[in-house]
């Protein structure tokens, strides 16, 4: 994998099958072990109702701010590898999943390709992304000039999002 100077990246984690909390914790740990990558900040974990296909279990969601030397496509490939290691099978779009890792924003990068769109094209319409993103937006560097808090408040008014009380380890 080719390395770039370290960039800030926001990624979202989600799971609604199996051990949802365990999947998010494992994903965060796996991302932190990628080459030239560390977790700068992690939002709290939120429980959210499914969207698009409502007849499925609730999701747990979290947003991470990473600093990485990986290129966007390399980070995407690593995220998909981690998803696969946690039982992710691609089927119904927006359907149930054991783990979902999405790149939301990548410092100073815009992309419009079939496999990678940056910024993430649906993030500003999704409270399950915006609410946790707003918690750690202070880590943003080289990101679009967005009022994430205002977007999060508007989305949260329309979509069910509640803080997930993470049990003590």
The contacts of residue 75 (CB under 8 Å, 6+ apart) are: 9, 34, 37, 68, 103, 106
The catalytically annotated residue of 8, 20, 28, 97 is: 97
How many Cα atoms are found within 13 Å in the side-chain-facing hemisphere of 74? Answer: 12
Strands (E), the chain: 3-15, 37-42, 46-48, 59-70, 100-106, 111-112, 117-118, 161-163
126 flagged as catalytic? no
Residue 134, Cβ density class (10 Å: 0-12 exposed, 13-18 middle, ≥19 buried): buried
The catalytically annotated residue of 8, 28, 100, 126 is: 100
Three-class DSSP category at 117: strand
The catalytically annotated residue of 102, 125, 141, 145 is: 102
The catalytically annotated residue of 88, 147, 162, 165 is: 88
How many Cα atoms are found within 13 Å in the side-chain-facing hemisphere of 152? Answer: 17
Q: Are 64 and 43 in contact (CB under 8 A)?
A: yes
How many CB atoms lie under 10 A from the CB of residue 12? Answer: 22
81 flagged as catalytic? no
Active site (catalytic) residues: 88, 97, 100, 102
């Amino acid at each position: 994998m080719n390395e770039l100077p370290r960039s800030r990246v926001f990624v979202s984690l989600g799971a609604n099958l199996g051990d949802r909390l365990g999947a998010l914790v494992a994903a965060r740990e796996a991302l932190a072990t990628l080459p030239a990558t560390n977790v700068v900040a992690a939002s709290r974990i939120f429980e959210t109702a499914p969207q698009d296909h409502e007849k499925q279990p609730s999701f747990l969601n979290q947003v991470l701010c990473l600093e990485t030397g990986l290129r966007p496509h390399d980070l995407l490939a690593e995220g998909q590898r981690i998803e696969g290691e946690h039982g992710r099978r691609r089927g119904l779009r927006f359907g149930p999943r054991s783990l979902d890792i999405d790149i939301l924003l990548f410092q100073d990068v815009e992309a419009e390709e079939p496999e990678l769109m940056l910024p993430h094209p649906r993030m500003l319409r999704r409270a399950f992304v915006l609410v946790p993103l707003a918690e750690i937006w202070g880590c943003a560097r080289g990101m679009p000039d967005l009022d994430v808090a205002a977007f999060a408040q508007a989305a949260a008014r329309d979509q069910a999002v509640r803080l997930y009380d993470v049990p003590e380890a």
